[in-house]
Amino acid sequence: MRVAVIGGGGREHALVRLLRRSPSVREVLALPGNDGIAADGVRCLDVDPLDLEDMCRTLAAERVDLAVVGPEAPLVAGLADRLEAAGIPVFGPRQAAARIEGSKAFAKEFMARHGIPTAPGRVFTEPAEAEDFLRRHPGPWVVKADGLAAGKGVFVCGSTGEALEAVDLLMRRGAFGDAGRRVVIEERLEGRELSVLAITDGKRLELLPPARDHKRLRDGDRGPNTGGMGAYSPVPDATPGILERVRREILEPAVAGLAEEGAAYRGVLYAGLMLTADGPRVLEFNCRLGDPEAQVILPRLEGDVARLFLAAATGRLEGTLRVRELAAVCVVLAAPGYPGKPQHDLPITGLEEAAALPGVHLYHAGTRCRAGGWVTAGGRVVAVTGLGGDLEEARRRAYGAAERIRFPGRQMRQDIAGPPAT
Ligand code: AMP
Ligand code: GLY
């Protein structure tokens, strides 16, 4: 079959690599892809994933058998609905189901309707009511913009003053436009975070190996939140007992609940969790693979993954997921200025040398290939995944390769897959 991967970051590079290994795949296309994907010999078509019209037309003209959508924004905008209407199977949820990520208010109320464990919280549309609530209840609170805000709309607050500031920023000053006019205010939970993702066809689901990402910019979980500075899989403290609870108490009720509400979910459902003393609690749902979680989960899969994705896309998922007994650690190299204003056009060296090391996968995210060589072209520049028999070996390989890739002002955490921050 011919498979189109939609998106152009490190996650999509990992998807392309994996799908090309599937025996049933004849060609993988990327839209728009990136220069690193193109350097693998993959045809990249310059189509904006948010231009739904152009995307439908292009995929139909290319006679694609399956579209795999990486990022959330086109799904929330209704890309899957449009492609399905054009007769193209899509691995990724329709708009109604993608609301589980697209609206945190919807997700919060959905979880309440279906008894899915999450931080107690409330939805507010009036700033005065939110402020009044915060003044009357001591917290600590987390304030979240309702809509998509590229991972920047969540404020974990240490005091009532901070929470009031977040409400002011989102609801009164409109820092995220319409995305922040409505907010969720929820209790701040304590524990370690875990990402558990599942492939589902709307009825059945297959858990992917669990992963943990590191969201803060600097070592020891300090500095601003980012899209993710690294990840690892498996996660030793995600015991089979915990994963079974996540399946039974969270993912199965979510899939069943969406179907019951007429929004059957197809694709990857991502549960971002806090492992609290009372058990796993949902912090957020995402309607897609995580980035950089994909860069540690996908290299661990084997078999005909394209066929598995197609089965999920067409409502016929069977128990066919195969996972390699390998550990994976991914280290992200970010441009100076990230996550604010990343600096572009900085020369990058060492990519080929790093990619040639055993047990190493390089996934391009924000790079560009110029006549003179590779330069930075985004915030997260490359994701370096090391594979090994255990996390220690995977980590050594990831850092061994990452150290060889250089550009001015390179930002890289040294503690990915290390012991928990204290
Ligand atoms: P979200 O996009 O909702 O996952 O939030 C982004 C990050 O904010 C999470 O990965 C957590 O680190 C943090 N966070 C979100 N909700 C909570 C909560 N209720 N308690 C503590 N931390 C949270
Ligand atoms: N790494 C977190 C996310 O993709 O949302």
The full DSSP string for 354-396 is HHTSTTEEEEESSEEEETTEEEE-SSEEEEEEEEESSHHHHHH
Give the distance (Å) from ligand 1 centre to CA of residue 213.
Answer: 12
Topology, domain 2-94: Rossmann fold (3.40.50)
Within 6 A (CB) of ligand 2 lie 213, 228, 286, 290-291, 293
The architecture CATH gives domain 126-181 = 2-Layer Sandwich (3.30)
- Residue spans of the domains in the chain: they are 2-94, 126-181, 190-323, 327-402
Q: Tell me, what's the pLDDT at 175? A: 81
Total-model pTM: 0.95
Q: Nearest residue CA, atom 4 of ligand 2?
A: 290
To the question of domain 327-402 being in CATH 3.90.600.10, the answer is: yes
Q: Nearest residue CA, atom 3 of ligand 2?
A: 290
- Ligand 1 contact, 321 CB (< 6 A): no
- Ligand 1 contact, 206 CB (< 6 A): no
- Ligand 1 contact, 154 CB (< 6 A): yes
Which tokens go with 195?
Answer: 């990402």
Ligand 2: residue of 293, 298, 416 to mutate (most ligand atoms within 8 A of CB) is 293
Ligand 2: residue of 100, 193, 213 to mutate (most ligand atoms within 8 A of CB) is 213
| Portion of the chain with pLDDT greater than 90, in percent | 87
Q: Nearest residue CA, atom 5 of ligand 2?
A: 290
Which tokens go with 28?
Answer: 């993988």
Give the distance (Å) from ligand 2 centre to CA of residue 63.
Answer: 31
Q: What is the mean pLDDT of the chain?
A: 95
Distance of CA 101 to the CA centre of its chain: 11
Give the distance (Å) from ligand 2 centre to CA of residue 212.
Answer: 10
Topology, domain 190-323: D-amino Acid Aminotransferase; Chain A, domain 1 (3.30.470)
Q: Tell me, what's the pLDDT at 422? A: 62
Backbone angles phi, psi at 373, to 5 degrees: 130, -165
Q: Tell me, what's the pLDDT at 292? A: 97
Sheet holding 141-145, edge to edge: 121-124, 183-187, 141-145, 154-156
Q: Cβ neighbours of residue 15 under 8 Å, at least 6 residues apart?
A: 5, 7, 68, 70, 289, 294, 298
DSSP symbol at 181: T
Q: Tell me, what's the pLDDT at 147? A: 87
Low-confidence spans in the chain with pLDDT less than 70: 421-422
Q: Nearest residue CA, atom 6 of ligand 1?
A: 154
